[in-house]
């Protein structure tokens, strides 16, 4: 019995000693900002989001377009780049392979969102926010682009606003040919890209007098 008890004590301390370095490494990774790669649709109580492609694959030396798809719970909304009197726009922080350069969000036209004396601009129900990605010519067909973005949303109702953070990811294959539209959201993203407002090339000046 004494031998068995001693063996159990030894196994307990040995397991703890083995587990400690792994736990320490995990804690260090989390402190450094590492997180498991999230793919597909991610959800909170108020919003679901997903990183989706316009085309079925990326081509070396070309531009690929992906979009952050938002599906917003009824009674809630997110915001345009100019949110209006309250709220805040969606922001994206990318983690991309070397040489892949993201553009700015191509914002579709927003809705007017009146709240008492306030006027805001944003989106309800569902919206796609396209972003262009410059793909380096050094990418080789057969490779896979691992795209990751930390998306920050302000999701608001008529009574309150809640900041939401979702970690989104997409694996996009690389092929050396023109890509067809992705069957799920390709056509919808293409329509947003075609209709989104663009800079008008107009300059304006304002000055105070008296």
Which residue is listed with tokens 């805040």?
Answer: 88
Report residue 15's pLDDT band, with 50, 70 and 90 as the boundaries.
very low
Chain-wide mean pLDDT for the chain?
A: 83
pLDDT of res. 128: 98
Structure confidence at residue 189 (pLDDT) = 97
In the chain, DSSP finds a helix count (H) and a strand count (E) of 2, 11
What's the predicted TM-score (pTM) here?
0.77
Whether the per-residue pLDDT at 18 is higher than 80: the answer is: no
Sorted by where each starts, the structural domains of the chain and their CATH numbers stand as 42-195 (2.60.40.10)
pLDDT at res. 115: 82
Is the pLDDT confidence value at 65 over 90? Answer: yes
Mention every residue, 6+ apart, whose C-beta is less than 8 A from residue 163: 152, 153, 154, 155
Between CA 69 and CA 47 the distance in angstroms is 10
Closest CA to 42 of 196, 200, 139, 168: 168
Tens-place pLDDT, residues 135-170: 999 999 999 999 999 999 999 998 888 999 999 999
- CA 197, 201, 202, 207 torsion-angle sign: positive
More confident residue, 13 or 51: 51
Provide φ and ψ at 19, rounded to 5°: -70, -30
Lowest-pLDDT range, 91-95, 112-116, 185-189?
112-116
At 39 the pLDDT is 64
153 Cβ contact list (under 8 Å, min separation 6): 47, 49, 70, 78, 90, 163, 164, 165, 166
Local confidence band at 32 (pLDDT 50, 70, 90 cut-offs)? very low
What the block records as the tokens of 13 is 């301390």
Q: What burial class does residue 73 get, using C-beta atoms within 10 Å of its C-beta: 0-12 exposed, 13-18 middle, 19+ buried?
A: middle
Does the pLDDT of residue 64 top 80, yes or no? yes
């Amino acid at each position: 019995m004494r031998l068995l008890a001693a063996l159990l004590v030894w196994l307990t301390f040995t397991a703890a000693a083995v587990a400690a370095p792994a736990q320490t490494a995990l804690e260090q990774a989390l402190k450094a900002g590492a997180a498991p790669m999230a793919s597909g649709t991610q959800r909170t109580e108020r919003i679901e989001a997903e990183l989706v492609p316009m085309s079925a694959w990326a081509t070396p030396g070309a531009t690929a377009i992906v979009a952050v798809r938002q599906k917003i719970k009824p009674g809630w909304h997110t915001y345009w780049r100019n949110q209006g009197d309250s709220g805040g726009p969606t922001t994206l922080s990318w983690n991309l392979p070397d040489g892949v350069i993201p553009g700015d969000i191509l914002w579709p036209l927003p809705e007017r969102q009146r709240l008492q004396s306030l006027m805001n601009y944003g989106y309800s129900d569902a919206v796609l926010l396209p972003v262009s990605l410059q793909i380096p010519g050094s990418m080789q067909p057969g490779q896979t682009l691992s795209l990751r973005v930390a998306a920050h949303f302000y999701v608001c109702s008529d009574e309150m606003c809640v900041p939401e953070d979702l970690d989104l990811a997409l694996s996009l294959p690389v092929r050396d040919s023109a890509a067809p539209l992705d069957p799920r959201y390709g056509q919808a993203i293409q329509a947003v890209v075609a209709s989104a407002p663009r800079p008008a090339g107009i300059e304006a000046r304002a000055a105070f007098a008296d």
